[in-house]
Structure 1
C-alpha cells in the first residue's frame, strides 16, 4: 500500500480513549488527510487524461492512415479554400503545389468551381480536375462539406473517367449501329415518333424509305467473319449525305436500311420528290454493286407516307415493308409506294424531267414573242419573250407544262440565260433590219435572281451582243421579294444603273404586292390575269382592277395588262387608264420569223386609217 494510503488509514482510525490530543494536532491531521485525498483525485484524473490522449492519438493515426491509403482524392481546405491536407492519392496526380486547386465546372470552361460552391454547406456533383498543365481534364465525382464552426472544408473526389468512357461506349452502341455507323433501329422508332408529334397543318406529312438488298443474308452466311458486306457498307456511307438535309438514315435490320424523310422535304409534289430520291438511291446502289462486282445484287425500296399509310412508327414501317415485298416481286431493282395513288403520278413527271435534260443538249428550245400594243397609238410598243419547247414526242410545249420541273431541278437558271441570249441575238437582227419596236420583256425566275453572278451574267451577254440594257424589261415575280434581305435592293439598284426597266409581275395576286411597291424601286407593274379574266361580267373585279390602275398612276408607275381575250376587256382597261395591253385579242406568241408579217399588217392598217 502506498504511503498516502497508510496516512489516510491512520488519519481515519479512531484514537484510543486515553490518547488525548490537543486541538491543533487534530486540525493538522485533518488538513493532511484532505490534501492527500486531493492528490489522489488529481493523480487519477491525470492517469485517465493520459490514457484518453493516447487513445485519441491512436485514433488520429488510424484515421490518417485510412485517408492516406484511400484511392479517392481527399483534401482538407481552410476557410480561404487553401489545402491544409492532401492525401497521397490526390497529391500524386496534381502538380505541386497547385493552389487554388484546378477544379473546373466542365471540360472546356475556365471557371473554377470551388469558390462557386463554397457558400453551400454541402455540395455533390460532377467536376473536372486539371491533372497537369497541358493534359486533358479528368472527370471526378466531387463532394464538398463545410464545417460550420471552423469554416474549413472536407473535399472528396473519385475519378469517373472509366465509368464515363464505358457509358459513352454504351450510348454509342444505343445510338449507332457498329457495322454501318447509321442510327440503330431503336433510335429510328424514336425519330419517327418525334416526326409524328412535330407535324403541323402546313407540313402534315413525312415519308419512310426502307431499302433492302437481296443476297445479303446468303452472303453473310457464307462469310460470317464479315458482319456486313462491303456493298452495304458503301451504300450506308452514301446515304449519310441526306442527313445534311434533315433526313434520318438508320439501319432497320440485318439487310435493310431506312431513311426518314422529314416534313419540310415533303411539303410540295411529294410523290415526285420521293420518286426522284428513290431513283437516285437505286442508282447509288447499282454503282456500289458494280464497284464490288456484285452484279446479281438487286435493291428494292418501299415507301410509306404519314398519315396515309399509318399513324404510328410500327404501322408506317410495316407499310414500307409491304411495299418492299411488292417491289421484290417485280424481280429487278425498283421502288414501290405503299399507296398506289402515288405510284401512278410520278413516272410521267420523271419522264418529262429526263426529256427536259436532253432538250438542252439537243437545242429543242426556242423563244416566241408576244407583242404589246398601245391602245392610244394602236401600235406595237414591245414584246414579251416566252419560251417554247419543241418536244419530239409531245409537240410544242408552253412554260406551264415544264417550268415547275425546271424550278425543282435548278434547270430554270440555265433556261433563263438561254432566253436572254436568244433575245439579244434577235434584237440585234431586228435592229439591223429596222423592225425593232420598244422593249423586250424577259421573265426572271426567283432562283436566277438570287444567283451571285446574275447581274454580271446579264451584263456580259449585253456586251457580247453590243446592246444597251434600256432595250430590256425584266419581269420580276413577287416570290423574289417574299424573303427580303439587303441583297435584293443592291441587285435592283445595279440593274437600274445598267439601264434595265424593272416590272413587278402578277401584281395583286400576292398578299405583299403593295409593300413591294413601297420598298423597292420598280418602273411598272403587270396586273395579274386573274383580275382580267371575266372582268366584263364581274363588277367587283372591275372595281378592284380600276383601283389598282389608279394606285399605280398615283405612284407614277406604268401599268401593263395581259391575257386580253376580247374587245370589251380592252375597252374597259382603256377607260380605266391602262394603255399597254397584251393578249390573244391582238396576237398570240409568235416565232421570230412571223414578226415582220405582223408589223406589215399593222402598217397597212395605219395607212388605211390615215387614208
Structure 2
C-alpha cells in the first residue's frame, strides 16, 4: 500500500509538469483510472474478507447457541416485547410439546401457584418495562403437569423497531422443593407413621392449656401404650410394620377433631381441646377410649384377633396437671397401671373418674332398654314475661329416671345418646309425649303460649322428619302453631338450598323456629336473614357473667339490639339472679327462663304453678287499687 501511494504521487507530479502536460494527458488519465480501480478492488477484497470472517463468527455463535438450546439441562427462551415465545431450548419445547415452527408467537404459561390460578404475565411485563430484568420462582403449568422453576429474564440490547427482546433462563426446582417439604415434614411429623411428633403435640397441648378459661376450663390427654402379645420377652418393642398398622387403625378410629400424635416407641397420644372437653367429660373420654379398645379387639375373617393390645391412660387438667409435662406424666402413669391388665384396658389418672370408667357399657345398655320401653319423662320449665310478670310458654326438657341411678338430667347421658344415634329415637319420643301433654293442657285450660322443643341436628336431617312431625300432629289433632322448635347451629352444615327448603316447610306447617345458643357459635347476620327464624335464644355462657363482666353486658346488649333490628324475638335462659333478670330486661330481653323464676317441673305440678301465678297477680291488683 505504501509503494502504491508513492508511485501515485510521483505520477501526479509528472503529469503536473507543463512540458509533458499535453503529451501524456491521456496516458495519465488512464493510469489514474487504473489506480483508482485498484484501490476500489482492494477495498472490496478487504470488505469481503471482513464479511466472511464476521459470517463465520456469527455462524459459530449460532451453532453454539443452538447447541446450548439443545443440550442445556435448564430452559432457555427468547421472548418478544409481549413475552411471546420466539425461540426456545429443546427441553422447553419438549415440555410444551411444540415444534420449531410453532414456537413463534406462543405464550409461555408461567404462574405464581401450582394450580395455575394466578398468571404472572402482567406482573412480568410491568417489571421488565421498568427495570429490564426479573428474577424469581414460578410454576410452569400445562395440561399434563405443573413444575416449579427458578428463572431470570433480561432485556437484550437491540436497535430493532420490533424490540425489545428478552432472554429467559430457568432451572427446575421441583425436586428441590419436594426435598425441602419432606425435610420440613420430618421436623413436625413422625418419619414412620407420618403422625405429628412429640414436639408438635406438646406445643399444641401448651396452646390448649393457655386457651382454657371459665367457659372451657379443662384439657384432656390420652396416652396410648401398645403391646404385641405375640412377643413374650418385650411386648412393647413393636416392629415397624406393627406400628404402621396400629397408626392406620388409630387414625380410622379417632375423629379428626382430636389431635393424634406418636410418642417415643410404641406409644401414641391424643389431645382433647377445651371446647371438646366440656362438663361430664368423663363420659366423652370414657366413650372414646372404649371405641379405641373395641377397634383393637376385633377379629378378622378367620376369627383370629390381632396380637396388638392397647392400654390407655387419661388425665384431665387442672386436677391431673396444670402444665404440659405434668399432664402427660399423669396420663403415662395411668397407662402404665392399665397395662397391668391382661387385655386392653383404660385407666383415669384421677381415682374418682376411674371408678366411673367400667360403667359406660352398662350405661349404654340401660339407655337402649329405657328408650325401647319409653321410660324417659318430660319436665317443663316456664318462660316468664318480665313486663307482664306472667308465664308465656314452656320448654320441654328430657329426664331419665334410671332404675340404678335415679332421675338424671340430659348432660349426664346425652353425649352417649348422640354418639350412638339413639338421639333420633329419643327426639321422636319427646315430641309424641309433648303432643300428648299439650292435648291434655288444651282440654283442661292449662295451655300457655307455646311449648318449645329442642330438635337435634341428627333428627332434623332425617328424610322422614317432616312426615313424622305431620303424622304425629294429626294423631293428636294439634296444630304446629302450638310449638317452637329450637335448632342448633349444627344445621348450618347442610347445603343452603336444602336447609332453606326444609325450614320453609316447617314454617308453612306453622312451627316457630328458634336459633338456640345464639352468640356462642358461628351464626352470622346473613344466616339470620336468609333463613326463616322467628327468634333466638341467648347462649347461657353469655348470661352467666352478665353481672360481673362489662364485656359480656355489651355483647348481650348488641345481640339483643341486632335481633330487634331483624324483628326476632329474644329469650334468655339460665337466669339465676335478680340482677341478671333486671339487666337483660333493661337491654330489651323480656322473655326469660331459669331457676330465678322456676326450675323444670313435672307436668302434674303445672296446675299448681299457674294457680300461684294467678294469686300473685290478684294480690298485685288489689295493692294497686
With structure 1 as the length reference, what TM-score do the two structures score?
Answer: 0.63
Tell whether the 8 Å contact from 1:526 to 1:560 is kept in structure 2 after alignment. Answer: yes
Which of 119, 128, 145 in structure 2 is aligned with 1:111? 119
Tell whether the 8 Å contact from 1:76 to 1:154 is kept in structure 2 after alignment. Answer: yes
Deviations 1:119-161 (A, max 9, x none): 2322222334467xx5334443322111355433222233445
Report deviation, 1:344.
Answer: 4.3
Q: How does 1:128-527 map to 2 (within 5 A)?
A: 128-129=139-140, 134-148=143-157, 150=159, 151-164=164-177, 180=193, 182-185=194-197, 188-190=198-200, 192-194=202-204, 196-197=206-207, 199-202=210-213, 206-215=219-228, 218=231, 227-228=241-242, 231-232=245-246, 234-239=248-253, 242-243=255-256, 245=257, 247-266=258-277, 268-287=279-298, 293-294=304-305, 296-303=307-314, 309=321, 311=323, 320-337=331-348, 339-340=349-350, 343-344=353-354, 347=357, 350=360, 353-354=363-364, 355-367=366-378, 387-395=398-406, 397=407, 399=409, 402=412, 405=415, 414-425=425-436, 435=444, 437-439=446-448, 442-445=451-454, 447=456, 451=460, 457-469=468-480, 479-482=516-519, 483=523, 485-486=527-528, 490-492=532-534, 512=556, 515=561, 518=564
Q: How does 1:42-121 map to 2 (within 5 A)?
A: 57-70=55-68, 71-72=71-72, 73-81=75-83, 85-91=87-93, 93=95, 94-96=97-99, 97-98=102-103, 99-105=105-111, 106-107=113-114, 108-109=116-117, 111=119, 113=121, 115-119=125-129, 120-121=131-132
Change beyond 3 A, Cα 1:519–1:220: farther
Residue of structure 1 in register with 2:3 after alignment? 4
Deviations 1:495-532 (A, max 9, x none): xxxxxxx9999998776485598468789979966347
Paired with 1:385 and 1:167, the residues of 2 have a C-alpha distance of 59
Q: How does 1:504-583 map to 2 (within 5 A)?
A: 512=556, 515=561, 518=564, 530-531=576-577, 544=582
Paired with 1:138 and 1:213, the residues of 2 have a C-alpha distance of 42
Report deviation, 1:256.
Answer: 3.0
Tell whether the 8 Å contact from 1:249 to 1:257 is kept in structure 2 after alignment. Answer: yes
SS, match of residue 214 in structure 1: strand
Change beyond 3 A, Cα 1:68–1:341: farther
Report deviation, 1:277.
Answer: 1.9
Paired with 1:583 and 1:209, the residues of 2 have a C-alpha distance of 37
SS, match of residue 490 in structure 1: coil
Report deviation, 1:95.
Answer: 1.3
Tell whether the 8 Å contact from 2:534 to 2:569 is kept in structure 1 after alignment. Answer: no
Tell whether the 8 Å contact from 2:424 to 2:456 is kept in structure 1 after alignment. Answer: yes
In structure 2, stretches of 5+ residues that fail to align are: 11-16, 21-34, 385-390, 487-512, 547-552, 615-625
Report deviation, 1:466.
Answer: 1.9
Paired with 2:246 and 2:458, the residues of 1 have a C-alpha distance of 41
Change beyond 3 A, Cα 1:516–1:449: farther
Change beyond 3 A, Cα 1:595–1:197: closer
Change beyond 3 A, Cα 1:177–1:436: same
In structure 1, stretches of 5+ residues that fail to align are: 12-21, 26-36, 374-379, 494-501, 533-539, 565-581, 603-611
Deviations 1:174-221 (A, max 9, x none): 6666764x4253xx5235425534643545764443323211794999
Change beyond 3 A, Cα 1:524–1:297: closer
Paired with 2:576 and 2:326, the residues of 1 have a C-alpha distance of 44
Paired with 1:503 and 1:466, the residues of 2 have a C-alpha distance of 28
Change beyond 3 A, Cα 1:451–1:492: farther
Which moves more between the two structures, 360-369 or 141-150?
Answer: 360-369
Tell whether the 8 Å contact from 2:224 to 2:312 is kept in structure 1 after alignment. Answer: yes
Change beyond 3 A, Cα 1:224–1:286: closer
SS, match of residue 140 in structure 1: strand
Which moves more between the two structures, 510-519 or 83-92?
Answer: 510-519
SS, match of residue 363 in structure 1: coil
Question: RMSD across aligned C-alpha pairs, in angstroms?
Answer: 6.1
With structure 2 as the length reference, what TM-score do the two structures score?
Answer: 0.62
Paired with 2:382 and 2:185, the residues of 1 have a C-alpha distance of 67
Change beyond 3 A, Cα 1:206–1:83: same
Tell whether the 8 Å contact from 1:446 to 1:480 is kept in structure 2 after alignment. Answer: no
Paired with 2:126 and 2:539, the residues of 1 have a C-alpha distance of 63
Change beyond 3 A, Cα 1:267–1:42: farther
Paired with 1:87 and 1:474, the residues of 2 have a C-alpha distance of 69
- The size of the alignment, in residue pairs, is 526
Paired with 1:130 and 1:517, the residues of 2 have a C-alpha distance of 50
Paired with 1:524 and 1:117, the residues of 2 have a C-alpha distance of 57
**Considering only CA atoms, is the larger Rg found in Structure 1 or Structure 2?**
1
Paired with 2:478 and 2:186, the residues of 1 have a C-alpha distance of 66
Tell whether the 8 Å contact from 1:385 to 1:440 is kept in structure 2 after alignment. Answer: no
Tell whether the 8 Å contact from 1:220 to 1:229 is kept in structure 2 after alignment. Answer: no
Change beyond 3 A, Cα 1:60–1:297: same
Residue of structure 1 in register with 2:510 after alignment? none
Change beyond 3 A, Cα 1:77–1:372: closer
Change beyond 3 A, Cα 1:54–1:211: farther
